[in-house]
Structure 1
Amino acid sequence: MLRIAVQSKGRLFEETMALLEESDIKIPSSKRILLVQSTNFPVEILFLRDDDIPQSVACGVADVGIVGENEFVERNEDAVIIKRLGFSKCRLSLAIPKDIEYAGLEWFEGKKIATSYPGILKRFMAKNNIKSDVHVITGSVEIAPGIQLADAIFDIVSSGSTLVSNRLKEVEVVMKSEAVLIGNKELSQEKRDILDEILFRVDAVQAAEDKKYVLMNAPTDKLKEIIEALPGIKSPTVMPLAQDGWSSIHTVLDEKCFWEIIGKLKSLGAQGILVLPIEKMII
């Protein structure tokens, strides 16, 4: 049995549970239960505060955990990053009142900075030879300059709307963060085998993200030009149709370039273009 530590609430919780569901790891939806076992896979989910996950993994209370990279780096626990998961992306940035002119990092010399991430901030300032007064706040960091508690803040930024609403501007990005799968360094072989199967499923789910399966009919004499226009994973599948002079082409397209490619295909004579979603993709 592999124990996975997961954030108990919030956006990271929702995206983590969605990933497990897409990987066909069924977790009963029980509220106020600390530990829940999967009904179809040898894993159990331990629900914790995000800042408790790195320590729980490092000391073996949980075998692996899914947590924001920012929390993992801040806690500096003896665990390893196994995989970057690509969701819950954000950045840790320094921000100051928007009306203040900013000339560079030296502005922070001697300034009081409010943050919930003192470890990351102190290491960054030491690296850049800046001496500042770090003031630790556990919540609502963004209001600190407005109530004269601090000159600046160091906090998570996603869209930036919270900064704008508090009349702040982002001036330095210290690190970028996303959800990561972290693991204990002393996993048994049995637990590693379970983890490998989870990683295989997660890879298949993530490989299918933003991908479309496309089928089309095309004039056989245009096949070479059409295939050259396709940026698919590998060479597309081509099959002859019952009607002479026509072929069926099957391929996978990235959604971000989909409409541009479809336009080219139509101009080359492709017809009956069928677009299907992809749930899983084994590469």
Structure 2
Amino acid sequence: MTLRIAVQSKGRLFEESMELLGEAGIKLNNKKRTLLIPAKDFPVEMLFLRDDDIPQAVATGVADIGIVGENEYVEKDEDACIVKRLGFSKCRLSLAIPKDEKYDNVKWFEGKKIATSYPHILGKYLKEKGVNSEIHIISGSVEISPSIGLSDAIFDIVSSGGTLVSNRLKEVEIAMQSEALLIANKELSDDKKAILDELIFRIEAVQTATDKKYVLLNAPEDRIDEIIDVLPGMRSPTITPLATKGWCSVQSVIDDKRFWEIISKLKSLGAEGIIVLPIEKMIL
């Protein structure tokens, strides 16, 4: 029994998907990329598709599961279920207009022509806002539409906003946030569900370790309670007596975002010999 995973064939989502799967132990048998490649030592195979084809492929059973941007999942509105939000490839779907245009509110778009590759999402958004606009469907290079007279505005993916700036556009409304999703066919067999459960277990072990550091340090026994307050672990820090009387070894996990703040507090409480290590996987 093999679980078939649909993955975007190129681009940032492809790179981040393959990195996550690689860290979860999914290695491909064939370095030369073809449409369908089995994995080593795990019962899955990769099916490489266009991102906008993945929701339909999963819904119809061509693939069992898929990694796809939430924007494409919502736009295609196929009958596949979300198994897990993956937290990478984050972006947003926004309305943008020429930089020099004066903008007050969403009513600016009344009667305007908007170019987009996401007519379903845009149509729903405009209806919710009570705005009547002409939706002009276009694939690729949506951002150039206003400058060549094809539209008054655009509705497209925005990540950093650099593409908008380079095309003299400004973002004025955000319709939805998007991230990578793991989606699945609703009719998976029990055997395939078991493989999917194992894959999710591995993915969560990788993700739990993200932005975490393992810290080892020596601390005076009379400051242990204060140090524990600074160093909360997954449950509590590990404390081991040292050969030197009055001292302990302390081990814990800290969030990388608070790393320097925590290290400074530890030093002020007398901690010494602080060692910081990266965490590859974390099983809860």
TM-score by length of 2: 0.98
Q: After superposition, what is the alpha-carbon deviation per residue over 1:53-81, rounded to whole angstroms, capped at 9, x for unaligned?
A: 00000000000000100001000001011
In the alignment, does 2:83 pair up with 1:82? yes
AA at the equivalent of 1:58:
A
Aligned to 1:117: 118
Aligned to 1:127: 128
Q: Which moved more, 1:24-33 or 1:75-84?
A: 24-33
Q: How does 1:195-234 map to 2 (within 5 A)?
A: 195-234=196-235
Q: How does 1:1-283 map to 2 (within 5 A)?
A: 1-283=2-284
Q: Structure 1 residues 32 and 197 mapped into 2: Cα distance closer, same or farther (>3 Å)?
A: closer
Q: After superposition, what is the alpha-carbon deviation per residue over 1:95-143, rounded to whole angstroms, capped at 9, x for unaligned?
A: 0111111110111000000001111000111111110000011010111
Report the CA distance between 1:233 and its aligned residue. Answer: 2.3
AA at the equivalent of 1:260:
E
Report the CA distance between 1:231 and its aligned residue. Answer: 3.5
Extract unaligned runs of 5+ from structure 1: none
Q: After superposition, what is the alpha-carbon deviation per residue over 1:156-175, rounded to whole angstroms, capped at 9, x for unaligned?
A: 00000000111111011100
Extract unaligned runs of 5+ from structure 2: none
Q: Distance in 1 between matches of 2:255 and 2:232?
A: 8
Report the CA distance between 1:29 and its aligned residue. Answer: 4.5
Q: Distance in 2 between matches of 1:89 and 1:265?
A: 34
Q: Distance in 1 between matches of 2:89 and 2:202?
A: 19
AA at the equivalent of 2:168:
R
Give the secondary-structure state (helix, strand or coil) at the position aligned to 1:100. Answer: coil
AA at the equivalent of 1:230:
L
Q: Distance in 2 between matches of 1:27 and 1:134?
A: 42
Q: Structure 1 residues 231 and 123 mapped into 2: Cα distance closer, same or farther (>3 Å)?
A: same
TM-score by length of 1: 0.98
Q: Distance in 1 between matches of 2:253 and 2:82?
A: 31
Q: Distance in 2 between matches of 1:72 and 1:282?
A: 30
Give the secondary-structure state (helix, strand or coil) at the position aligned to 1:221. Answer: helix
Report the CA distance between 1:39 and its aligned residue. Answer: 1.5
Q: Distance in 1 between matches of 2:32 and 2:171?
A: 38
Report the CA distance between 1:234 and its aligned residue. Answer: 1.8
Q: Distance in 1 between matches of 2:197 and 2:277?
A: 29
Residue identity (%): 68
In 1, are the aligned partners of 2:214 and 2:278 still within 8 Å (CA)?
A: yes
Report the CA distance between 1:25 and its aligned residue. Answer: 1.2
Q: After superposition, what is the alpha-carbon deviation per residue over 1:215-237, rounded to whole angstroms, capped at 9, x for unaligned?
A: 00000000011111124322100
AA at the equivalent of 2:268:
S
In 1, are the aligned partners of 2:216 and 2:275 still within 8 Å (CA)?
A: yes
Q: Distance in 2 between matches of 1:39 and 1:247?
A: 44
In 1, are the aligned partners of 2:218 and 2:272 still within 8 Å (CA)?
A: yes
Q: Distance in 1 between matches of 2:152 and 2:270?
A: 63
Q: Distance in 2 between matches of 1:164 and 1:232?
A: 43
